Structure 1
Amino acid sequence: MSACDGGCEDMQRLLWEVLAPGTPRPRCEELRALIAACPECVEQLASEQEIRLLMQRCCGEVHAPVYLRERITTRIRIIRGS
């Protein structure tokens, strides 16, 4: 995979994979190297990481209901499958 050349749709999927808690460290490093080829994607990744950190600080003690987690997980699987 090469730099996204401004058409960042494929790289967007990689951003989410990097940010997913269960992604293995070697895979994250591989993905970060790919993302590094696109300044816009690097900026997007930094923004997403900052937002997640702020959310953890503000809402760290609040947990989503089980049904919501299941719905989101199912939706992610459907999207990744297509």
Structure 2
Amino acid sequence: MTIRDESHEREQVSCDDALAEIYMLLDRECTPERDAELRRHIEDCPPCLEEYGIDEQIKQLLARKCGGEHAPAELKSRLKASIRNTVAERYGWTMAETEIRIERTTEPPTIS
């Protein structure tokens, strides 16, 4: 009987991957599995941990200094899409996202 070490079978996260996805991690936009992989790497890699800490502080500082104002939803959506596309292009990932929009009309439908 062979005991398998699953930690060696998992794909290792590189520093480039971790740094490219730090803001996705900070914004909690990663899948739970990817979140765990990135956090494992960051906890074991002092340079990435330092960068993560700096980026987290910058994000908190911006939130405080912007007075709680929120960017318009459309701007957030475009920025997220741009970040996802950049990460996808850099690493050759294919990403799909579906958006459903339900709108209410002001006039009720007429019955003939």
TM-score (norm 1): 0.70
Counterpart-to-counterpart distance in 2, 1:40 and 1:14: 15
Match of 2:96 in 1: none
Residue of structure 2 in register with 1:59 after alignment: 66
When you count helix as a share of all residues, which structure comes out higher? 1
Highest RCO, 1 vs 2 (Cα 8 Å, sep ≥ 6): 1
In structure 1, the partner of 2:83 is 76
TM-score by length of 2: 0.55
Match 1:31 to one of 35, 38, 42: 38
- The structure whose Rg is larger is 2
Q: What residue identity is the alignment partner of 1:66?
A: A
Gaps of 5+ in 2: 1-11, 90-112
- The percentage of aligned residue pairs carrying the same residue is 31
Aligned residues: 78
Any idea what SS the aligned residue of 2:21 has?
Answer: helix
